[in-house]
Amino acid sequence: MGKIVKKLAISLFFCNIFVNAYGIAIADKGTAEAVIVIDKNADKPEQFAAEELANFLGKITGAQFEIVNEAVPAKNNIFVGPDATKIADTNFSTDGLGTDGIVIKTIGNNLILAGGKPRGTLYAVYTFLEDYAGCRWWTSTSSTIPSKPSLVIENLNIRYVPVFEYRDMYTSDTIDPNWSVRNKRVGLAPGAIYRDSAPLRGGCLNWWPTSHSFYTVLPPEKYFEQHPEWYSLINGKRTASPTDHASLCLTNREMRKQYAIDTIAETKKDPTASYACIGAPDDSGYPFLCQCADCAAIMTAPNPPSELLTQFTNEIAAVYAKEMPDIKVKMTAYHMYRKPPVISKPADNVIIKLCTIEKSCGVPISHERNFQFRDDMLGWLKIAKSVYIYDYGIDFDNQFCPHPNLRSLSADIKFYAENGIKGVFIEAGANPAAKSMGYEIEAIRSWVASKLMWNPSLNAHELIEDFANGYYGPAGKDVLGYIDVMHNAAKASGDWMRTTGTPIDAKFLSIETLDKAWSCLKAAEAAVKDDKVLLSRVQSLQLSVLYPFIVRWAELQDAAMCRGIKWPLDLSIQNVYNYFIKVAAENNINIGPKTQTELAKALNPASK
């Protein structure tokens, strides 16, 4: 009997050598060659990770994968989670992985997919499925899951910790928690909308209440009548009116006390909260700051307005440090608060959320055009323990218009990583609560940015190609042509390209550029004319070019005639408009009142 056991051990040993020489077989001709092993006491995210792995491996190979609590000697074993991994590697440790770091490693005939708690194991599974099995989750409704009845994995040894601890975007795909976690986004979006499902997906880094918290915490309708002194003094009058661009009187001691009481009380009601935000009402911009003597004294040159906001934030942060030490306080450095203070420094539990709203979107932050924002960012990094970026990915005033910022946005994410930024949020699309599809190139922008927020060292151009060819299929080549046309035109024009209010007649939106762009998208349409799904995706993209054509109809017709360019569209603006509305409706794209107004003006020039 002893000789048999010895021979069996030798056989298994040589079997492992064979497996390692050629990789680990996960499936062979539609039959599972591996089992998924999790610890019997695995937490919910690890259980969910194992279920996701079994589900997608099943779709890829056609095999059924068993989830067990003990290793199976006759099978290859996929250990999911740090506790299960210790069966294969007794010295395994998650030290240094933080909450999101991953380990993907082969040991003998075993594959380890593990990471830090609570999300690392999930991210290890998704990274494995994406990078080594070929899965792609393009949007919340579209994915590519390859068919590989036989799946063999090469020897692997990956240990990775993401540069950014906070990674999120505001897009139409945010509504789907699975898409968010599969693309390794952790932030406001999945938690705010799907709070109940967040623990299953490793939780989220959610903030309370909003970036513009002042009136949420101390609503004027509740406090102004009894305490007008808590609100801005503007032109000799206390006011809380939005029309006055009013805010709080940040030096008022009683207001500070009440603010601390109320914000702590509300934060305690939200078990998903990781941050408490402090920020002025939106667009309460300079010079409409409180003009009382105490506020004015603090903001005497060379002190910028952020000096006052930092002092206020530090006082509130001290209360959080005492009563809710796990909560970080986010200070919104926005508009007049963007320039860092000269005297004060943010407390250690304060995160500066620096907003990029004034930057030129057509060029990277490293470009000389953006030197003011770049200098402010570097200034905050010198005095703050942690700085996050709140970026913008579209033109909010012309959401249907081309906004060619893929190149600059990708470069900016890398720049943030290289300079010590610890979190990135990008507001870049439709309201996820509206459950509508996004505008323009939102889908590709969202996917590419998510990849770069997870790993800024990835090649942005290769990511863009990956998405275009995977999401648009045979039309991918021409979609890439469209992207290049728009980006090259924006670069050559020197246009500022704003997050709000890029002119509809900007230089880069010339008849020459729009004609070339439309030609690319018509070629893309022809390439997928027999595929209903791909055709709808291309036609949705066409709206970005049709919108400036419709709004500038007569002007662009004149320009085409003067420059000898054949008019590329139907000669009837009504027909083009009808097509625009039809495609938007068929693809659940919310046109919005402002866009509808501009389109109506174009149809009836006399109403302008």
Question: Residue 159 CB: number of other CB atoms within 10 A?
Answer: 12
Cα-based distances in Å from 514 to 196, 457, 505: 45, 33, 11
> Mean pLDDT by 10-residue block, N- to C-terminus, for the chain (608 residues)?
34 37 89 98 97 99 98 96 95 96 96 98 99 97 97 97 95 85 79 62 83 94 98 95 90 98 94 90 69 94 94 98 98 95 98 96 96 98 98 89 96 98 89 62 95 98 99 99 98 93 92 99 99 98 97 98 98 97 93 89 78
Pairing between β-strand 67-68 and β-strand 76-80 as defined by DSSP bridges:
unpaired
What DSSP element (H or E) covers 314?
helix 306-323
Cα-based distances in Å from 401 to 85, 218, 232, 422, 438: 50, 38, 38, 31, 12
- Amino acid residing at 386: S
Cα-based distances in Å from 400 to 247, 435, 438, 547, 581: 33, 17, 9, 6, 12
Q: Which residues of 274-312 are buried (b: 16+ CB within 10 A; e: fewer)?
A: bbbbbbbbeebbeebbbbbeebeebbeeebbbbbbbbbb
- What is the rounded distance in angstroms from the CA atom of residue 289 to the CA atom of residue 292? 9
Neighbouring C-alpha atoms within 13 Å toward the C-beta of 383: 18
User: What is residue 289's predicted lDDT score, i.e. its pLDDT?
Assistant: 86
Q: Residue ranges per domain, the chain? A: 2-160, 166-458, 476-607
Pairing between β-strand 67-68 and β-strand 143-144 as defined by DSSP bridges:
unpaired
Pairing between β-strand 102-107 and β-strand 157-160 as defined by DSSP bridges:
antiparallel
Contact 549, 599 (CB under 8 A): no
User: What is residue 17's predicted lDDT score, i.e. its pLDDT?
Assistant: 34
User: What is residue 15's predicted lDDT score, i.e. its pLDDT?
Assistant: 38
What DSSP element (H or E) covers 103?
strand 102-107
Q: Which of 542, 573, 541, 543 is nearest to 557 (CA)?
A: 573
Contact 184, 252 (CB under 8 A): no
Instruction: DSSP letter for 534, please.
Output: H
User: What is residue 19's predicted lDDT score, i.e. its pLDDT?
Assistant: 43
Three-state DSSP state, 67: strand
**Residues paired with residue 80 on neighbouring β-strands, in sequence order:** 113
Match 């006390």 to its residue by tokens.
Answer: 257
User: What is residue 573's predicted lDDT score, i.e. its pLDDT?
Assistant: 98
What sign does the CA torsion over 391, 397, 398, 400 have?
positive
Residue range 2-160 forms a domain whose CATH class is alpha beta
What six digits make up the tokens of 260? Answer: 């601390």
- What is the rounded distance in angstroms from the CA atom of residue 103 to the CA atom of residue 122? 11
Contact 149, 27 (CB under 8 A): yes
CATH number of 166-458: 3.20.20
Alpha carbon 291 to its chain centroid, in Å, reads 38
Q: 435: which residues sit within 8 A by CB, 6+ positions away? A: 172, 175, 588
